[in-house]
Structure 1
Amino acid sequence: MIMNEKIKAKEIELTGLNGEDLGIMPTSEALAMAKKLKVDLVCTSLMSSPPPCRLIGAADAKREQQQAKATERPMKVKEIRLTPHIEDHDYETKRRQAEKLLESGDAVLLVVRIKGKEGALAKELLERLIKDLSHVGSKTTGIQLSGKQAAVQLNKLN
């Protein structure tokens, strides 16, 4: 997001504080108007000529900048591995780890390694984790049992 003096275009298409169209004007004139109103001049896109800009309050500009940064970061899928015979303390550690990852915006793939006939135990463990993490994430797929592992993916709640 380009603001105030960082806008290098000679002319801009200006939108006012309440969304009204103020037309095409020189950048210096728009900057003077922004300073007079004690607001920021923000360029919304560089893809057109003249670039569209708007007048917005300083608090709104900061909030928009933070939202833009948050949406820029792509979601990653992080894998957390468990075993069916997990101790309570280890379970809590893995649950907290998954919770932090979900809160930061990443998806979590919970994987339980299976040996022999531990499939039912693995499924119970994953169902318990899904229930414990339901306040921060929801499952995107059902629990998938395949060969030597059981897995489920959780995404952040919107």
Structure 2
Amino acid sequence: MIKNEKIKASEVQLTGVDGENLGVVPTSEALAMAKRLKVDLVCTSLLSSPPPCRLIRAGAAKEAAQQERKRERGPKVKEIRLTPHIEEHDLETKRRQAENILRAGDAVLFVVRIQGKEGAAAKELLEDLLKQLRPVGAKKTGIQLSGKQAAVQIDPL
């Protein structure tokens, strides 16, 4: 993201603070307008000539760049491991952890390690977690039992 004096083009296609089109303006005039309004002049793309630029309030340019980066990378999948015989307090801690991850915009993959005939208990545990996390996330896949583990992925709403 190129801002203010770092814009080297001689003229820019300018968009105002409220989204109004101000047309093609010399860069020096656009910078003067930005200083007068106490905002930043931000170049949105270098691929066209003249480059499109916007007048954006000071902190908003940085916030917009962060939002765009987050959208580009997509949600990460964070794994949380459990056992079928987890204590109630520990389960509550894991649930809160998953809730925070989902609110941050990332997906959660619950993996329950199973030994012997613990498959039913693991499935019941995951169904209970899905029910508790329904307000902040929706399951992407059903509960998958495979070999020594049961897993389910929850995506943020």
Distance in 1 between the 2:80 and 2:128 partners? Answer: 15
Aligned position for 1:6: 6
Aligned position for 1:143: 143
Q: CA deviation at 1:57?
A: 3.1
Give the match's secondary structure for 1:28. helix
Aligned position for 1:133: 133
The answer to whether residue 60 in structure 2 is matched with residue 51 in structure 1 is no
Counterpart residue type for residue 151 of structure 1: A
Distance in 2 between the 1:21 and 1:92 partners? Answer: 52
Give the match's secondary structure for 1:48. coil
Counterpart residue type for residue 37 of structure 1: L
Distance in 2 between the 1:98 and 1:17 partners? Answer: 39
- Taking structure 1 as the reference length, the TM-score comes to 0.86
Distance in 2 between the 1:75 and 1:18 partners? Answer: 30
Distance in 2 between the 1:73 and 1:56 partners? Answer: 24
How many pairs are equivalent?
157
Distance in 1 between the 2:63 and 2:77 partners? Answer: 27
Structure 1, unpaired ranges of 5+: none
Distance in 1 between the 2:67 and 2:76 partners? Answer: 18
RMSD between superposed Cα atoms in Å = 2.0
Q: CA deviation at 1:125?
A: 0.0
- Taking structure 2 as the reference length, the TM-score comes to 0.86
- Structure 2 vs 1, CA of residues 92 and 48 (structure 1 numbering), >3 Å: closer, same or farther? same
Distance in 2 between the 1:89 and 1:57 partners? Answer: 46
- Structure 2 vs 1, CA of residues 144 and 40 (structure 1 numbering), >3 Å: closer, same or farther? same
Moved over 4 A (4+): none
Identity of aligned residues (%): 73
Q: CA deviation at 1:66?
A: 4.2
Distance in 2 between the 1:141 and 1:123 partners? Answer: 13
Cα deviations by residue, 1:25-63 (Å, 9 ceiling, x for unpaired): 221111112222333212111222221012233354454
